[in-house]
Amino acid sequence: MKVSSEPIENCQVALNVEAEDAELDKYMKLAYNHLVGRVAVPGFRKGKTPRSILEQHIGKEAFLQEAMEHMIPDLYTEALKDQKIEAIDQPSIEVLQDEPVKFKAIVPIKPTVKLGSYKDIRIESSKKEITDDDVEKTIEQFRAQKATLVSVDRPVQFGDVITMDIEAKQDGKVVINRKDAVYEVVKDSYVPLPEFSEKMVGLAKGAEIDFVLSYPEDYKIKQVAGKEFQLKVIVGEVKEKNLPELNDEFAKESGQETVAALKGQIKKSMQETVDARGRQEFEQKSLDSAVEMSDVQYPPIMKKREIERIVRNDVKNFPDGVKGFERYLKSIDKTPDDYQREIEEIANRRLLRAIVLGKIAEEEGVKVEEPEIDAEIERMVSGSENQEDLKNFFNLPQSRDSISETLLTQKALKVLTDITSGNAAAESK
């Protein structure tokens, strides 16, 4: 086997391989052993056809194809070892000729990272304090969730719930046709169309209305931009929300003894949520700042894999999987290819963040020890009914590797945010 290699752009290596005659002969014999038991030749029992007759019967090209299906993967593996190349994914292989057999493999290798001066990054962190007004708004939302509906004999107001018959057409085609639809009249709602809820205000039970909703080409919601809809609505029942009284009984139904205790619990929970969101935003700002000052190169296959991962996760959100996802894309006038192009930048950003953070972890000597993985598994299974089964699953090599990667990310982010907040500098003094 003759092998040569040369680095090419985007963290790839072009590997050129030429098979020796003896190697080709070895795999042609192997091809014969595979084919002779599968191909029936008149006048011969299966497995007993001489090689020359079998080759004449199916053609030398088919024989050679069978040989190369086994030879190329084997020679590729040997060539990687010969050239000391560490591939991180499957190559793209092009057969250049078959006599002698020559092929080229484009091999993806590890990304390269040149970090900027990330230790000089400083970012101001801001903390939002939950106010009593924030708590009151949340309490009102809770009351609205527990509200009862009471029929009223008056025109529709914002906050009411109505039943209606609705038909909507776009370019003469019916896009909505529902009877006795239940609709909450919410100000500035985009459902079923922007500005629809405003048209309902002031209508009484039994009212019929025909109207047009049209949107300019530059409208902020792309799905309706540049479109016009003809609507017909017949109002059925008009109901208003009857909110429960805010008292200790309401608090008990919400898991607390008193209104004061309920408000305290809500404030604590909201503050924890806001603090977690603030930490996440600070982490992203810190990491994005490090990414902006770094020079990162990675092979195209990594973006392809990340796009595939994003699509797989999105598909999981639909009960009927791929069909539901494709149906959703069709409803917003997009093809799967359109969607993949849209998420390319998301995939690129995720990759850059992961690669840069991995390099920072390496520079800072961040590591995850086996006891840390054990402790995380214990935390993950704590409180579960089938702890032993879960432990067995999480202790599989692939699961432990995944947990280790997650912990490494968390630790590296902590190191980076300590730097960007100035805590690392303070602690080193």
pLDDT confidence band for 425 (50 / 70 / 90): low
Q: What is the pLDDT of residues 222-249, one digit of tens each?
A: 889 999 999 999 999 999 999 999 999 9
Domain spans, the chain: 2-110, 148-242, 257-428
Q: What is the pLDDT of residues 1-27, one digit of tens each?
A: 899 999 999 999 999 999 998 888 898
Rounded percentage of the chain residues whose pLDDT exceeds 70: 99
Task: Give the whole-angstrom CA distance, residue 27 versus residue 217.
Answer: 63
Rounded percentage of the chain residues whose pLDDT exceeds 90: 74
| SS3 track for 42-107 | CCCCCCCCCHHHHHHHHCHHHHHHHHHHHHHHHHHHHHHHHHCCCCCCCCEEEEEEECCEEEEEEE
- What CATH code is assigned to 148-242? 3.10.50.40
Q: Which residues lie closer than 8 Å to 306 by C-beta, 6 or more apart?
A: 347, 350, 351
Residue 427 has what pLDDT?
57
Q: Which residues lie closer than 8 Å to 300 by C-beta, 6 or more apart?
A: 10, 12, 108
Place of tokens 């992203």: 284
Residue 47 has pLDDT above 90, yes or no: no
Residue 429 has what pLDDT?
44
Q: What is the pLDDT of residues 266-281, one digit of tens each?
A: 999 999 999 999 999 9
Task: Give the whole-angstrom CA distance, residue 98 versus residue 414.
Answer: 55
Taking the CA of residue 116 as centre, how many other CA atoms within 13 Å lie in the half-sphere pointing to its CB? 14
The answer to whether domain 2-110 and domain 257-428 are alike in fold is: no
Task: Give the whole-angstrom CA distance, residue 270 versus residue 139.
Answer: 12
Q: What is the pLDDT of residues 372-417, one digit of tens each?
A: 999 999 999 998 888 899 999 999 999 999 999 999 999 999 999 9
What's the chain's Rg over C-alpha atoms? 33
Residue 75 has pLDDT above 90, yes or no: yes
3-state secondary structure (DSSP) of residue 360: helix
Residue 331 has what pLDDT?
83
Q: What is the pLDDT of residues 292-302, one digit of tens each?
A: 999 999 999 99
Across-strand partners of 244? none
pLDDT confidence band for 28 (50 / 70 / 90): confident
Mean pLDDT of the chain: 92
Task: Give the whole-angstrom CA distance, residue 296 versus residue 10.
Answer: 10
> Can you name the CATH fold of 2-110?
Alpha-Beta Plaits (3.30.70)
φ and ψ at 69, to 5 degrees?
A: -60, -25
Residue 340 has what pLDDT?
87
> Can you name the CATH fold of 257-428?
Trigger factor, domain 2 (1.10.3120)
